[in-house]
Every structure is written in structure tokens, then in C-alpha cells.
A and B are shown apart, each in its own frame.
Chain A
Amino acid sequence: KNEVEQSPQNLTAQEGEFITINCSYSVGISALHWLQQHPGGGIVSLFMLSSGKKKHGRLIATINIQEKHSSLHITASHPRDSAVYICAVTGRVTGGGADGLTFGKGTHLIIQP
């Protein structure tokens, strides 16, 4: 079982819809990251969270430390939001090292016009 689980694996929505991607982790962490990966491989860091909520433009990320759960929301979704969204954690997770990231498998999001 992967220490970082994301759902859904694939999501197709219409332009303008409110999008939610969920992430659950099974061990204690120092921080949780949301990343965006476009075709061709480039990864961009969207958020790094230790607690609470962060907002950047149309993107909102929340984390509940007690429940070991985080969500990424996209408001007023647009076709250019189409990408793979990856949840990753830093901390006491097997295989990630003390400082390296342990990743979920990603959520493939397609926003149709």
C-alpha cells in the first residue's frame, strides 16, 4: 500500500466546474506538497502546507493533520488547468528520506471546453 493515496486517479470535467482532488497519507509528515505536471514532464510546485489552508488565484489547498488528509480545489476550472496533479509529503515516510518527497500516483485532470 502506497503511503500517499490520491483520488480520483482520473477526472474529466467541463469548463467552469469546481474541482476537488483528495490526498490521504498514512504516517507523520513535516509538510505536504501539491505539484502540477504537464505533458513532457515539467513539475511545478503549487503549494507547501503544514497546517490550515492556502490560496493562490483559483487554487485552494487545505490540510487536516489529525485526519491525515488534504484537498486541492480549483474554482472556475479552465482547459489550461488540464494536467496531472500530484500530492507529495516530506517527513517520516518510508523511502522518501528525511527530506526527499514521497509522491502519490497523481490525478490526471482534463477540463473540456
Chain B
Amino acid sequence: DTGVSQDPRHKITKRGQNVTFRCDPISEHNRLYWYRQTLGQGPEFLTYFQNEAQLEKSRLLSDRFSAERPKGSFSTLEIQRTEQGDSAMYLCASSQRASTLSGVNTQYFGPGTRLTVL
């Protein structure tokens, strides 16, 4: 257990429905990341928050995807009008503001939410 939790762990939905996932990062971590992983592939970056500000969005994040982190603590990822291609594992990670010379800190991953769109 890394201390990052995600809910739900599994979600099955029908095409066209909206779904929302939640991520609770480690409490003192101010950076939060969302990634998506399809079967047999490495994860892909979706978006990144520092506190409540969404600082980076991948071009993979279509208009149907929206992410929020309203109080700089937990985050939600919503997918509207789901498509079968959205079926994947959605991973959340958190880290502290970097104190290293590289400007990068270790990311701690949650267990993921596996989405299946029928």
C-alpha cells in the first residue's frame, strides 16, 4: 500500500454513459498525476495538478475528459459519453514538490481503476 487510494477499483459501464473516478493522494503531496494504461502497454500521461491548479494536459485528453482537484487534496477524473476505446486502467500518482536538484520527485501510484465500456 503506497498511501494513494483510488475509487472505484473496477467500473463496468455501457457506451455513452458518464463515469467519474476519485483519487486520494498522500496527504502532504501537492502534485497529482493521472495516467491511462491499456492492456499490454505502458501507462500514458493524461494530466497533472500542482495543488488545485491543472498545469499540464496531454493531447490524449479529449473534450470528453475532465479532471479537477478543487481543494488541492483529492482529485476526480470524469469521462463523458464513454466509448469502447476508453476501456483501460486509470492510474493516479502523487508526489511532493521536488526538493531534488533534478526538480523531480518520486511518484507514488494508486492501485488504479479498471474501466470496461461495453
- B42 and A103 form a contact (CB under 8 A): yes
- Residues of the A chain whose Cβ atoms lie less than 8 Å from the Cβ of B102: 30-31, 50, 90
Q: Contacts A42-B109, A42-B111 given: A95-B104 contact, CB under 8 Å?
A: no
- Docked complex Cα distance between A104 and B82 (Å): 27
Q: Can you identify 28 A-B contacts, CB atoms within 8 angstroms? A: A30-B102, A40-B111, A41-B89, A41-B111, A42-B111, A43-B43, A43-B91, A43-B109, A44-B2, A45-B108, A48-B104, A48-B105, A48-B106, A90-B104, A97-B58, A98-B48, A98-B56, A99-B31, A99-B50, A99-B104, A100-B56, A100-B58, A101-B35, A101-B93, A102-B45, A103-B43, A103-B44, A105-B42
Counting CB contacts under 8 A, is A79 at the interface? no
- The number of chain B residues touching the other chain, given as a range, is 35 or more
Interface residues of A in 32-73 (CB under 8 A from B): 33, 35, 40-45, 48, 50
- A30 and B103 form a contact (CB under 8 A): yes
Interface residues of A in 80-111 (CB under 8 A from B): 86, 88, 90-91, 95-106
- B45 and A100 form a contact (CB under 8 A): yes
Min CB gap B46→A, angstroms: 8
- Docked complex Cα distance between A45 and B112 (Å): 15
Counting CB contacts under 8 A, is B41 at the interface? yes
Min CB gap B90→A, angstroms: 10
| A-B pairs with lowest CB-CB distance, top 8 | A97-B56, A103-B42, A100-B45, A43-B109, A31-B104, A41-B112, A50-B102, A31-B102
Interface residues of B in 57-103 (CB under 8 A from A): 57-60, 89, 91, 93, 100-103
Residue in B closest to A50 when the chains form the complex, CB atoms:
B102
- Docked complex Cα distance between A41 and B115 (Å): 13
- Residues of the B chain whose Cβ atoms lie less than 8 Å from the Cβ of A100: 33, 35, 45, 47-48, 56, 58
- Residues of the A chain whose Cβ atoms lie less than 8 Å from the Cβ of B56: 97-100
- A101 and B107 form a contact (CB under 8 A): yes
